[in-house]
A and B are shown apart, each in its own frame.
Chain A
Amino acid sequence: MRFALTLGTLTAAAALWCAPAYAGDQIVVGFATAASGFMTAYDKPAQDAALIRIDEINKAGGLLGKQIKAVFADTKTDQAEGAKAGLAVLDQGADLVIVSCDYDFGAPAALQAQAAGKVSFFLCAESVKAGIQGVGPYSFSASVLAAVQGATMAEWAYNKKNARDFYRLLDSWTVYNKGICDGFDWMMPRLKDAKLVGEDTFKNDDPSIASQITRIKSLPKEPDAIMLCTMMPGAVSAIKQIRAAGIKSMILNGSGVDGSYWLNATPDLSNFFVPVQGSIYGDDPNPKVNEFNAKYKAVTGGDPSSQYVYPGYVLIDVWAKAVERAKSTDAAAVVAELEKMKDEPTLFGPRTFTSEIHHQNRGRYLIVDTENGKPKVVDEWTISEKIPVDYLTSK
């Protein structure tokens, strides 16, 4: 017991030594993101992209004439640590708190920022709760809602691929997955004579989804398209098993499966469609995106692994613009400027924020088609109407 007490006191003292120093004539951006554990693989790339944008701004003379300084705290992919990381960067004077990609892991830090009256941005969370509806009025996400991805794929496949019979396969593991299918569900009744011929669920870590596949195969006719609402790592397994069973329907996905790093797992994958905000394959219609990819490679030593790199860049971009317009880093003023943004152009599609929703309930997506294991951009699609906020929050 005495030993334990001594240890406790020692740690208390150690924590004090690391007490923060306030920054003077700098603007501080705090990253409360995962530098270890599961989320690192998803936070790090987007964070690198954010740092690239910060570097660009600093080189161009800074923000309001001040240099932006980045400070970091590790969430260790743990919710309780996440809240501490949020506090740690706030104590270092952060004016903007950037939190983990995933809503569940990012929310604790974002809540601390909200309580301290500072703006927070999720690196790439795609739940409507990553904003006013969950964390509060000072919270934003730079990505596009999962539901928009599902809706985009359904409408695009209906219009451009003439898909009529849809099958819905949901991995009930995360809210992100459900979000994709919610968007799909919202879009379906809007597509005249499109039909849901069947639906099923599985779980990301199921060692085999053979029985789900049997259900698809027992349909009288193979569906035109399978809406697959899932994410890594289970997505690869599901896709591989669907194709291994000889099902040739087109597979529609959320952005979570973007990236070529796993394609070896299903050689010669074809008829496979993913919505992305920007292309990592070097064929983005906007040459600036390809320039960014090159820059990213120069800085980090590797190509972007998936489109989830891009929201990190976008969030610094839109926040900095809002700060310039507000001429202050004061949270209320910055939020007011952000909420004035309507179709604000960014490298990776336009962004709109309103006092009702701090997320994109409509967005331009590039459609990446994978044929014979080679992904490439084939089209661009923006859903015909916004997904209503009421529908999103009721899910």
Chain B
Amino acid sequence: MTALLQIAFDALNLGSLYALGALGIALIFGVMRLVNFAHGDYMAFCVFALLWPSTDAAAIVFAGNLPFYVLVPLVLAVGALLSMLSEILVYRRFRNANPATMMIASFALGFVIRHFLLMLFSSRPKSVTLWPDLSLPVEIFGARIPMLQVITILVTIVVLVLLTLFLKRTRYGLEMRAAAENFTMARMLGVRANRVILLAFAISGMLAAAIGLILATNSGTADINMGANVMLIAFIATVIGGLGSLEGAVAAGFLIGAASVIFQATLPHDARVFRDAFVYGAVIVALLVRPQGLFAPKSAKQRV
């Protein structure tokens, strides 16, 4: 029983990370059909913003020593700014471009960010100590769970609730949902495209920053590739969930997290190194069963 509970928490924890990532990608995809491959690099950038640039092995912590009520908003702001900046400088000029062109442009942008960090910080992981108390385990129904896992799950729930309220209850949220459903139509009905898109980028950037913070707290390090894995899985989750569907993205993020944990827990030892092959295989099967995604929005149907 305790073991099951432990596995459930592990799955929720990993799923939360993927869900937050998928949400950030789905938001942008919704408003401008862009799969933002630079999203993972935003995560790393936000964490490196806590450090002073130096290629020495030992990290010089710069903003990381601030109290959390300053630090968290600061990092979120960095994420939002970086994301908005990339929209203003780059993506705005791709409004009518082919999705493939946009995808490659975002990949190139991510490549630039990554190599910029590499030049400033070198590839050695840098230690960042954020809230060491969070590493202590807590006991829940007999299962000993690291505090951070609980917080990750809580943060995800809070973010989801806030975002749902925002999308359902506010004017901006309404506009964003309308834009996600049918961008051209929404524009005709008076939705201010640039503002909605900029807002989506800001939220997406903050989500990236939040994941960056969680990853950094969990691993204690900043590494230039730290966001890559979450980004890839999140990208897959957005598609499995049904492109354009935020609920779908979140659900699929949790599903992939759960699948990964369950494969890890149940596969025999010799097969465990092939876990990722099983996960990707499951992805292909999911797509074959539901090509439009698990929660396909109406807009996903082909119009003739």
User: Hey, which bits of chain A sit against chain B, CB under 8 A?
Assistant: 37-42, 172, 199-203, 205-208, 210-212, 214-215, 217-218, 232-234, 236-237, 240-241, 243-246, 259-267, 302, 305-306
Contact = CB atoms under 8 A, between A and B. Distances in A.
B20 to A, nearest CB: 11
B164 interface: no
A241 B146 contact: yes
Interface string B156-188: 000000000000000000000000000000000
Contacts, number: 138
28 contacts: A38-B123, A40-B122, A41-B57, A41-B122, A41-B123, A203-B275, A207-B215, A210-B149, A211-B11, A211-B261, A214-B6, A232-B124, A232-B125, A233-B125, A236-B125, A236-B221, A240-B219, A245-B144, A245-B146, A246-B137, A246-B144, A261-B126, A261-B127, A262-B220, A264-B129, A265-B128, A265-B129, A266-B135
B101 interface: no
B288 interface: no
Given A172-B273, A263-B127, A214 B265 contact: yes
Given A208-B218, A233-B125, A265-B219, A214 B118 contact: no
B200 interface: no
Contacts of B220: 236-237, 240, 262, 264-266
Interface residues of B, number: 50
A302 B55 CA distance: 11
Contacts of A234: 219
B3 A214 contact: yes
A208 B123 contact: no
Contact of A201 (B3, B13, B272): B272
Interface stretch (B30-38, B223-231, B237-245): B223-231
A105 to B, nearest CB: 12
Nearest to A234: B219
B264 A305 contact: no
Interface in B236-277: 261, 264-265, 269, 272-273, 275-276
A125 B135 CA distance: 34
Interface of B: 3, 6-7, 9-11, 13-14, 17, 55-59, 118, 122-129, 132, 135-137, 144, 146, 148-149, 215, 218-221, 223, 225-226, 228-230, 261, 264-265, 269, 272-273, 275-276
Contacts of A210: 9-10, 13-14, 146, 149, 261
A234 B123 CA distance: 13
B59 A261 contact: yes
A385 to B, nearest CB: 28
A236 B144 contact: no
A47 to B, nearest CB: 14
A218 B5 CA distance: 12
A207 B229 contact: yes
A102 to B, nearest CB: 12
Nearest to B21: A207
A217 to B, nearest CB: 7
Contacts of B126: 261-262
B104 to A, nearest CB: 19
A232 B57 CA distance: 12
A214 B5 CA distance: 10
B149 A305 contact: no
Contacts of B6: 214, 217-218
B10 A208 contact: yes
Contact of B148 (A37, A202, A244, A267): A244
A200 B57 contact: no
Given A217-B144, A243-B135, A305-B58, 13 more contacts: A41-B124, A42-B124, A205-B228, A205-B229, A210-B146, A210-B149, A211-B7, A218-B6, A245-B144, A261-B57, A262-B126, A265-B127, A265-B128
A205 B225 contact: yes
B116 to A, nearest CB: 13
Contacts of B57: 41, 259, 261, 302, 305-306
Nearest to B223: A233
B265 A215 contact: yes
A208 B17 contact: yes
Nearest to A264: B127
The 7 A-B pairs at the shortest CB distance, nearest first, are namely A265-B220, A237-B219, A233-B125, A305-B57, A244-B135, A210-B10, A265-B127
Contact of B118 (A38, A241, A244): A38
A165 B229 CA distance: 33
A217 B136 CA distance: 15
B123 A214 contact: no
